[in-house]
Amino acid sequence: MPTNPLQGAQFVLAAHRVQQLPIDEGAEVAFAGRSNAGKSSALNALTGHKGLARTSKTPGRTQQMVAFSLPTVLRGETSQPIATRLIDLPGYGYAKVPDALREHWRHEIDRYLHVRRSLRGVVLIVDIRHPLKDFDRTMLDFCLGTVLPCHVLMTKADKLSRNQAGQALAALRNEIGTNAPVTMQVFSAPDGTGVEEARTAVMRLLEGQERTNGSR
């Protein structure tokens, strides 16, 4: 089995505002998705750490921006070592989140995406069984508009047959088109479908081009 480059991820901090995140240097990939799309399970599967991200039968438990450090240190454009991180963004769209908190996270996520220079890409978590939601489309539109690389994990593929999962992937590709910088794949945390492919995609994002300013 290949070595897991994301193994050894460690919790750093949970932030209520963008300015509370770790110093904006190095390279990080953000995980975004609706509250019930399986984001925490995906993070745990990718890092090989079952308890890294909180999972619950009650969606919406992630209500802060959570930073995890990675043991992998990449070489920057100047050959200097740079630290790498994963950022778990708050689950979005869960009905029981108070309106004020929902609006707060709408603002903070938008600010994070626009100003964070160390952000190299986004992993967008969507439930393969359902059409894209407004949040998913907004995130994809932002990535396309700013040329920010995005990799879509179509989670919960274990709930469908292989043929159904393939049809869902083809439908999403047809809907989004072949426009860079969006890639996508079928994924399942429980049965391990697509885990190695997703790890490779995350590393590819981390190794991507540094943003010259906040928004590209």
Provide DSSP, 44-62: HHHHT-TTSS---SSS---
Nearest-Å Rg of the Cα atoms of the chain is 16
pLDDT for the residue 56: 45
- Phi/psi region, residue 8 (left: phi>0; alpha: psi -120 to 50; beta: rest), is left
pLDDT above 70 covers a percentage of the chain that reads 88
Distances (CA, A) of 188 to 43, 125, 149, 165, 173: 11, 11, 22, 11, 18
The SS3 of residue 173 is helix
Residues in the chain: 216
180 pLDDT more than 90: no
**CATH 3.40.50.300, applies to 10-206:** yes
pLDDT for the residue 91: 81
Q: How confident is the model at residue 62 (pLDDT cuts 50, 70, 90)?
A: low
20 pLDDT more than 70: yes
19 pLDDT more than 60: yes
Across the chain, what does the average pLDDT equal? 88
Is residue 155 within 8 A of residue 42, CB to CB? The reply is yes
57 pLDDT more than 50: no
